[in-house]
Structure 1
Amino acid sequence: MYSVLFRQAEASSQLAGAKGMNLIKLTKHGLPVPDGFVIQTNALTRFMEDNHLHQTSESIEKEIIAGTFSDELKHELTNSFYKLRDSYRSVAVRSSSASEDLEGASFAGQYETYLNIKTEEEFLAKVKECWASFFSGRVSSYKKKMNNQIAEPLMGVVVQGLIDSDVSGVIFSRNPVTHDDRELLISASYGLGEAIVSGSVTPDTFIVNKSSFEIQKEIGAKEIYMESAAEGIAERATSKDMRSRFCLTDEQVSELAEITKKTEELYGYPVDIEFGIADHHVYLLQARPITTIEQDKKASEEERSFMITDADMNDFWINMESNIEGPISPLFSSIIVPAMEYGLKKNMRKFPIGVVVDEVKLYRGHVYSKSQDGQQPQTEDCGEELFPILSERMYDIIKHTYLPFYETLDQLAQTDHTAESALDAFRKLKAFYLTAYDEHFNIVFPQMLLTNKLQVMYQHIQGESENAHFYEMLTGKMNKSLETDRLLWLFSVEVQENPNLLSIFKNTKPEQLQEKLKQTDEGKQFLRNIHEFLQEYGWRSVKSHDLIEQTWAENPYYALANIQNYVRNGYHFDNEFQKTKEKREALYNEFLENIEDPNLRKEFDRYYQWTLNAANIMDDHHFYIDAMLDAKARAFLLKVGELLAENGVIQDREDLWFLYDDDVENALLHPVSLQDKAEKRRQAFHEYELAKAPAYLGNPTKEQLKIAEEIVGAVIEDEKNTENHIFGIAASSGIATGPVKVIRDASEFSRFASGNILVCKMTTPLWTSLFQDAKAIITDTGGILSHAAIIAREYGIPAVLGTRTATERLRDGDIITVDGSNGKITVVSRA
């Protein structure tokens, strides 16, 4: 038997998957669950056997989608489907993994849900997509990080009658904010629950005392609602009346509270519940144990001053993800957050760029900033005396402030420390981060003022606000990222001119290049040259803005993989760079010729030459400050980690990243085991990696959102988006059509092929190697001055950034057209 009704299944059935088991249990105990059935995990096993599929196959997801059902399996599943459709207009199809919602391994959001399924063809297709999701890259990565080893593909599928909810929501039987067992929390809004689960709306919130049933209420904006359409789900705007009143009556809240208490008693521990209300009837759609409550409670017990508190949540906080790829490790957060706040607050008053940051804090591993209300007035001539010498000034600061300290860090990284020497050096490192980020913004903000001034002049002359061409007039200026790329390309030229080296690079996997090169004299010399190169250019981490990942200097793999890519794709750096320079000069000369007023032309040219001279600052400050400081600090801190491991504080030196700064200082003075804390924080960190962090916290006004976008790029999805159109920031002009490849982190770089369109959350300098092969770039976050925008313009490829949603809405193999001039993405066909 491959499918079984909720009411006929055994409550302990391991073949149902966790979600299925929960619904079976609720049904058996008389709770109001819509009818449905479970496609048991043995159905996937049978399907794979019928199609001769192996879960170790690299293309297993596509093979499942392409597979066919045997007559026996198809007959049983469709028979169950049609029986359910006799009672319901449509159904919901949800994955139900045997690993989902287990203690310490909540896979919430890792699998698939499909609503409003009406036909047999849709039903069978969605079942396959649920099965395929079991093998998706992010789920596999999550299993690995959670040490969840599964021998068989234990994926069931829940098929449930769809309730066309008037109101729906989520209930936590223990208040997840205060961790108070005496309270439950309800989040509710209009329509289907997908709007709340996906974070598309600000719901109404109800906190209920489980003894007295006293209700505290907070009204939400309830911006949209979702409802069943002729096909799929439609998103509608709520009316003014709907937004102005609570979506639940007090009687409905009390009824939900009673059902929640019964469900919690049934399980014997806290639960969260998804519910729907249709025609005044309450339905339980899902229930699961809250697997992270104890973890959350422990986290709340060790709050630090730089973490966002419950009281802070009333303020407007902007996720700084376009600058700092989150989440960041505990140790780095305790160093960087105070340093960023210090540097921002000091320099925003000195160089008024239009906003003043009050605080920088951490929320679920991500860095957020809170700004003062209203924009700071800009002084007309602020920083004017610095404009002609910004690049030279930066290099003078680097020479006298940063490089001497980096020499100290190099020495500390070669020292065998005592507890006292390590503590002294650690405190000096923390103090230097304050200095470093003071100077960081002291370098960056005047350049921003100059660029903004030139941009205002440009827009005044052009009579429009389009910015992509403006920034393309500032390309073709050598910087440290391009300089690094050019040297890697020159190594590839050396390879191409040497038959023995060329054979190695053409016939060896990137992870095996180093060992292969060690086997020949030519290869050994080549590695020595690479090592010398990395001593100057290798101080960048696989993950920018953290201490947690290897640096290029530690492992030549990253440089060798880049060189191999140049060998493979035949990219000629000097020729392409020359084309970029010529394009820039042509654009600028054409623009200048169209300025009729000679005085205005002269003034614009003066500011333009200053801005072009300073165009290297964005990349060069990142090379010498953002990247190099963290990389050099990591090398020293690994020695501290070794000392703590020797003293039994942690097991491995790299467990250090999961201690906070005060933990490290206390442990150096009084060593006690902190391994359990480190492990719990590591687990939380990996969960934060997989969860989507909010673009902002609080309830901002439209004016606040507008100011936020000027700082970090788009913070909300464009309201013009449709099923086949996505809008973002026009960051690099041009139009390109090609297949999507979604890349989530550096471990997936090898999946990217020439001619793909790169879709990712954001890029850092490590990602630059992909730009040689990409037809276009699309990101979720970032603005016109982000790394992705700058490098896309340098490489002359279209880019649409800050879409907020591209990595979720686009899938590998989708054929799309990217219009980098207008910030528009069009889906041509779905994979």
Structure 2
Amino acid sequence: MYTSDYTNTLKELNKDSLHEAGGKGANLGELINAGLPVPPGFVVITGAYRTHLEASNLKKSIEKMLENLKEQDIDAISEASNCISSWIEEAPMPLEVQEEVDRAFESLSKEIGADDNLSVAVRSSATAEDLPSASFAGQHETYLGVYGKEEVFKYVKKCWASLWSPQAIAYRISMNFDHLEVDLAVVVQAMIASQAAGVMFTANPVNGNSDEILISAGYGLGESVVSGLITPDSFILTKEGKVKEKTLGSKEFSIRLTEKGTITEEVPKSKRKLFCLGDDEFMQLANLAKLVEKHYGSPMDTEWALLGGKIYLLQARPITTIISDSENFNILGPEDKIIYQGKKAPFGLQSVMEHSTYPHTPLDFACFSHFYQGIYTSFADAGLKIPKNQNRPVERESGCVALSYQGPGLSPAIMWKGPKLLIKSLFQDNDILWQAFSKEISVWLKKMDNAVRDTKDAVGAVKLIEQALKEYEKLVYKRFSVISIPGGFAEYRFSKLIKKAVGKEKAEEYKESLLRALPFRTALQNKTLMKIAQTEALNGKDSIAFKNELKGFLDEYGDIGAGRMLSPNTWQEKPETIDEIIDALLCNTAVLNPEESFKKQEEDYEAAKEVIKKGLKPAEYDKFIKILEKLRKSVIIREESVFYLEKVAGVLHRMALKLGILLAKQGDILVYTSPIWTPLFKVASAAVTEIGSTTSHAAIVPREYGIPAVVAVENVTNILKDGQKIRVNGTNGIITLLE
């Protein structure tokens, strides 16, 4: 036995070890001592981090770099992060710390019967982490598949440096944590070469149900689930381990431990169609959930791994986002209708839900309504029945905003309009139609971007948005009229001939191969991303070559992100999103040779054509080739048109941002209908609303900001117009029009 100033085994730690072992280290020690199945390891305690700073004289430099730093100073935070992180990584680790880490690593190797090439996870463990009030989840780095002592030294310093990542600095500012009061320990833990892994919440954080367990799982190491690389399988269990609900994830990739570290590889399609967990694993996880929750006395967020039929616990921290059991979820009033309550949503609603993955703003709802009205008008050309009422937001009595969705229906007109349109599509040239449409949309984009730049006041910005949304509706109509019907009809004949050639069971497989190796916009975009990732791998993120590649990419694809709505940030605004995609691509070594992937697609395409040729008569094959060429062109045009519509949405997004800038003038009065506008109370001088009461959110928040408010004025957003001057008397509930 030996005493140590800089390391402790996990067995030596418990819940009272937060100061020296950080939240993660303390929790793991607590779990091991509770008899739970946690892999062994040791912690490089916070004293080692402090010694490293003192030996390198970094503390004063860090203090100076952090002076007057504010949460909104994004550029300043980024600069501070880069400087401090590089200082910490470049400074030599003190010899006395190295010696103790070396000794602890050798001891761990002997404990589990491994040699010096033991594979470990090196995980950050901050003293302000995994706490009941603030989890700091994902703020600091974890490195998997680290082999050998020298690599452990290197990654311990990287973990120390991650205490100063931009997100960690910003998070500490927002949570009012003193930067230099937060220390960082590092957990070095034996790796589990898991067959499956993931996350388990011992209570359901989505609905607040403490009797449910929520599990997300994928193949290989749990990093694929935690990092968002895959869509995992998800399960809701009872505390007894009975499955209440399960959803099959796509699980396209797995991260696997090898003798040289971790690799990311594709999961075979046959395995993707299977759930990665079974009844035995469910029982183990449910029992583990009960033990962890009983020990801590509260719901916990855990990470786990499966190897050889046994579940290992890798981490546990309190759930900081659990909803109180007393919260009222009955947001529907007695007259409110549930929009959809069946097992499978109709196609139209599926499309709505697919593009509604985030909370919408009022302008999003307006954009949504115009988009679908454009689609419905094109459906009317085919004889479908357009809904009488537009899709629009509906405000519930509770203040919850729901979407009133109505899809198109059948009409007798389809009997004559449908065939007429199909016959017309046989003789129209998609290329000519597309060239005209793409030219029109390019002119529109340039015109509107100029208009956004030249708009000087809020009234003008509102009028411009109204005009642009109406024109957006027409562009959507033209896109679906030009693109969808010809492609759809060709696809029907295409599928029929494939089934005749290879049979119904293999039809989809061959169809997929025949539509590969296409230079459509999404493929070109992905190919460019691979090239950027390759440039980063070869030259580094700070190289001129990488920066030039990234700039060119953002110039072309920077409007991606807005999708069909106005509020989401675009890639141009948040290029760090690209960094995350590139990091994921670099997990796969195949990205360093992107041409190989496209070459294989071309080979699959040619091979599939040969098989089809053998299964059809010569005349049928000639017809098939003509349809194939038309359909491949149609796919290219369809994807190109989606790209252009995203650029339109990008322009609409910039209009909304310009309006926001023009509206942020002190003295403006906010007249609104939805609680979503309440953040503007910070700059508004008064508020008037159509909703609420004296005890409602609409009245309470203005009181907190100290501004007058008049609530529940029916139809006020139509009575008052933007640009009018009014006086708001909150005490007596009087609004006076001044001119």
TM-score under structure 1 length normalisation? 0.49
Report the secondary structure of 2:692's partner residue: helix
1:181 and 1:337, CA in 2 relative to 1: closer, same or farther beyond 3 A?
same
For residue 100 of structure 1, report the CA deviation from its aligned partner. 2.2
Partners of 1:244 and 1:167 lie apart in 2 by 15
Whether 1:51 aligns to 2:56 is yes
Residue 83 of structure 1 is matched in structure 2 by 107
1:115 and 1:676, CA in 2 relative to 1: closer, same or farther beyond 3 A?
farther
Match of 1:174 among 192, 203, 212: 203
Match of 1:121 among 150, 156, 161: 150
Residue 252 of structure 2 is matched in structure 1 by 223
1:62 and 1:257, CA in 2 relative to 1: closer, same or farther beyond 3 A?
same
Residue 272 of structure 1 is matched in structure 2 by 301
Partners of 2:167 and 2:566 lie apart in 1 by 22
For structure 2, the residue ranges without an aligned partner over 5 or more in a row are 66-79, 395-400, 409-420, 486-516, 525-564, 571-640, 706-739
Residue 74 of structure 1 is matched in structure 2 by 98
Report the secondary structure of 1:284's partner residue: strand
Query: Superposed, which structure 2 residues align to 1:133-212 within 5 Å?
Result: 133-211=162-240
Match of 1:19 among 21, 24, 27: 24
For residue 254 of structure 1, report the CA deviation from its aligned partner. 1.1
Query: Superposed, which structure 2 residues align to 1:536-547 within 5 Å?
Result: 545=566
- The percent of aligned pairs where both chains have the same amino acid is 27
For residue 75 of structure 1, report the CA deviation from its aligned partner. 0.3
For residue 101 of structure 1, report the CA deviation from its aligned partner. 2.9
Residue identity opposite 1:439 in structure 2:
E
1:193 and 1:238, CA in 2 relative to 1: closer, same or farther beyond 3 A?
same
For residue 174 of structure 1, report the CA deviation from its aligned partner. 1.0
Map Cα deviations across residues 619-657 of structure 1 (whole Å, 9 max, x no partner).
Answer: 997898543454335544766875699xxx999845489
Partners of 1:136 and 1:385 lie apart in 2 by 47
Partners of 1:151 and 1:309 lie apart in 2 by 52
For structure 1, the residue ranges without an aligned partner over 5 or more in a row are 414-428, 454-463, 472-543, 550-613, 679-831
Partners of 2:702 and 2:342 lie apart in 1 by 31
Map Cα deviations across residues 334-393 of structure 1 (whole Å, 9 max, x no partner).
Answer: 3122112111112234468x999998999xx9x9x9999xxx989648989986994899
- The answer (yes or no) to whether the contact 2:566–2:656 under 8 Å persists in 1 is no
Residue 98 of structure 1 is matched in structure 2 by 127
Partners of 1:676 and 1:196 lie apart in 2 by 44
For residue 27 of structure 1, report the CA deviation from its aligned partner. 1.4
Partners of 1:231 and 1:666 lie apart in 2 by 62
Query: Superposed, which structure 2 residues align to 1:303-702 within 5 Å?
Result: 333-350=360-377, 380=428, 390=440, 409=459, 436-443=468-475, 446=478, 466=519, 545=566, 626-632=653-659, 635-636=662-663, 653-655=680-682, 665-666=691-692, 672-674=699-701
- The answer (yes or no) to whether the contact 1:164–1:192 under 8 Å persists in 2 is yes
Map Cα deviations across residues 633-686 of structure 1 (whole Å, 9 max, x no partner).
Answer: 5544766875699xxx999845489xxx998743799752137999xxxxxxxx
Residue identity opposite 2:101 in structure 1:
L
Residue 711 of structure 1 is matched in structure 2 by none
Residue 587 of structure 2 is matched in structure 1 by none
Partners of 1:114 and 1:218 lie apart in 2 by 29
Report the secondary structure of 2:282's partner residue: helix
Partners of 1:124 and 1:133 lie apart in 2 by 15
1:6 and 1:662, CA in 2 relative to 1: closer, same or farther beyond 3 A?
farther
Report the secondary structure of 1:93's partner residue: strand
Partners of 1:663 and 1:262 lie apart in 2 by 50
- The answer (yes or no) to whether the contact 2:212–2:237 under 8 Å persists in 1 is yes
1:386 and 1:256, CA in 2 relative to 1: closer, same or farther beyond 3 A?
closer
Report the secondary structure of 2:699's partner residue: coil
1:393 and 1:114, CA in 2 relative to 1: closer, same or farther beyond 3 A?
closer
1:655 and 1:622, CA in 2 relative to 1: closer, same or farther beyond 3 A?
same
Residue 35 of structure 1 is matched in structure 2 by 40
Whether 1:7 aligns to 2:22 is no
Map Cα deviations across residues 87-132 of structure 1 (whole Å, 9 max, x no partner).
Answer: 1542111111122233453322222111122211111111111111
Partners of 1:254 and 1:227 lie apart in 2 by 25
Residue 247 of structure 1 is matched in structure 2 by 276
Residue identity opposite 2:701 in structure 1:
L
1:51 and 1:388, CA in 2 relative to 1: closer, same or farther beyond 3 A?
closer
Map Cα deviations across residues 540-584 of structure 1 (whole Å, 9 max, x no partner).
Answer: xxxx955999xxxxxxxxxxxxxxxxxxxxxxxxxxxxxxxxxxx
Residue 65 of structure 1 is matched in structure 2 by 89
Partners of 2:198 and 2:438 lie apart in 1 by 58
1:446 and 1:73, CA in 2 relative to 1: closer, same or farther beyond 3 A?
same
Query: Superposed, which structure 2 residues align to 1:770-785 within 5 Å?
Result: none
1:28 and 1:636, CA in 2 relative to 1: closer, same or farther beyond 3 A?
same
For residue 317 of structure 1, report the CA deviation from its aligned partner. 5.8
Partners of 1:36 and 1:451 lie apart in 2 by 59
- The answer (yes or no) to whether the contact 2:566–2:650 under 8 Å persists in 1 is no
Residue identity opposite 1:55 in structure 2:
I
TM-score under structure 2 length normalisation? 0.54
- The answer (yes or no) to whether the contact 1:44–1:131 under 8 Å persists in 2 is yes
1:134 and 1:408, CA in 2 relative to 1: closer, same or farther beyond 3 A?
closer
Map Cα deviations across residues 193-240 of structure 1 (whole Å, 9 max, x no partner).
Answer: 122222333333332212574654444443333221121112333345
Map Cα deviations across residues 268-316 of structure 1 (whole Å, 9 max, x no partner).
Answer: 2111111112222221100111111238997977799999999899785
Query: Superposed, which structure 2 residues align to 1:756-767 within 5 Å?
Result: none
1:303 and 1:92, CA in 2 relative to 1: closer, same or farther beyond 3 A?
farther
- The answer (yes or no) to whether the contact 1:90–1:117 under 8 Å persists in 2 is yes
Residue identity opposite 2:260 in structure 1:
E
- The answer (yes or no) to whether the contact 1:207–1:216 under 8 Å persists in 2 is yes
Residue identity opposite 1:409 in structure 2:
V
Partners of 1:313 and 1:198 lie apart in 2 by 29
For residue 5 of structure 1, report the CA deviation from its aligned partner. 1.1
Partners of 2:33 and 2:656 lie apart in 1 by 59
Map Cα deviations across residues 420-454 of structure 1 (whole Å, 9 max, x no partner).
Answer: xxxxxxxxx7x99676523234257658999999x
1:208 and 1:119, CA in 2 relative to 1: closer, same or farther beyond 3 A?
same
Residue 265 of structure 2 is matched in structure 1 by 236
For residue 267 of structure 1, report the CA deviation from its aligned partner. 1.5
Cα RMSD of the aligned pairs, angstroms, is 5.9
Residue identity opposite 2:207 in structure 1:
T
Partners of 1:242 and 1:283 lie apart in 2 by 22
Report the secondary structure of 1:233's partner residue: strand
1:318 and 1:548, CA in 2 relative to 1: closer, same or farther beyond 3 A?
closer
1:392 and 1:258, CA in 2 relative to 1: closer, same or farther beyond 3 A?
closer
Partners of 1:64 and 1:371 lie apart in 2 by 58
Larger relative CO (CA 8 A, sep 6+): 1 or 2?
1
Partners of 1:296 and 1:637 lie apart in 2 by 38
Report the secondary structure of 2:361's partner residue: helix
Partners of 2:368 and 2:646 lie apart in 1 by 22
- The answer (yes or no) to whether the contact 2:222–2:305 under 8 Å persists in 1 is yes
Residue identity opposite 2:474 in structure 1:
N
- The answer (yes or no) to whether the contact 1:94–1:159 under 8 Å persists in 2 is yes
Match of 1:289 among 318, 330, 337: 318
Partners of 1:245 and 1:442 lie apart in 2 by 44
The structure with the largest alpha-carbon Rg is 2
- The answer (yes or no) to whether the contact 1:638–1:654 under 8 Å persists in 2 is no
1:351 and 1:117, CA in 2 relative to 1: closer, same or farther beyond 3 A?
same
